[in-house]
Amino acid sequence: MNAVPPRRRDRTRLPAAERRRQILDVTTRLIAERGFWGLSMQDVADGCGLTVPGLLHHVGSKDNLLVAVLELRDAEDHRALAADLGRPIDELPGVVPLPDICLALVRRNAAQPEIVRLFAVLEAESLAPDHPAHDYFQARQDSTIKAMTLLAQAHGVREAEIVARQVMALMDGLQIQWLRDPEGIDLVVTWTAAAKALF
């Protein structure tokens, strides 16, 4: 029986920042497809043309890699949202109405289904207390509710925290439906119709 030859690796040396970005992009795609528990460091290494020790040199551990992916995506979403709304994130409360911010978020998500899938898969998996992203998603939920509550209060919304929780639940729920049927559901149109009733 013939042995399968080892996969040839691309040994191109990339600058550290470029290599790290490549690793995070490959990891994002793989987690979106398989979830964190289905992610192997070997597959990430293969996708980047690295050995597993070479990969670990850049990221330290699988848990560190997961957190780095989540932090990168959050930072990119914040930058994109600020650019779309024409203001820094910390200037949005009291200036941009919550419905406008939500619509900008939905538009951003509609353009990146792979990232939305990544977060949906990880958020569900991280309900297990031993998941490495459990604390991250708990903190993310808390900070999102707090931010939306402040935005709602700044525009005179009554029962602002309840509205913030409804916004988050509606957004997350519609995104799950859209991920299951991307051809049948227009996320932006569906959100806009639902938001009229909510706001």
What pLDDT does 22 receive? Answer: 95
The second-level CATH assignment, the architecture, of 62-198 is: Orthogonal Bundle (1.10)
What pLDDT does 5 receive? Answer: 45
Give the integer Cα–Cα distance in Å for 42 and 56: 10
The whole-model pTM stands at 0.78
What pLDDT does 13 receive? Answer: 80
Domain ranges of the chain: 62-198
What pLDDT does 12 receive? Answer: 67
**10-residue stretch averages of pLDDT, the chain, 199 residues long:** 47 82 93 88 95 94 92 89 86 81 94 90 93 94 93 88 95 97 97 92
What pLDDT does 90 receive? Answer: 77
Q: How far is CA 170 from CA 5, 51, 66, 90, 131, in A?
A: 50, 42, 26, 24, 25
CA triple 88-121-112, angle to 5 deg:
45
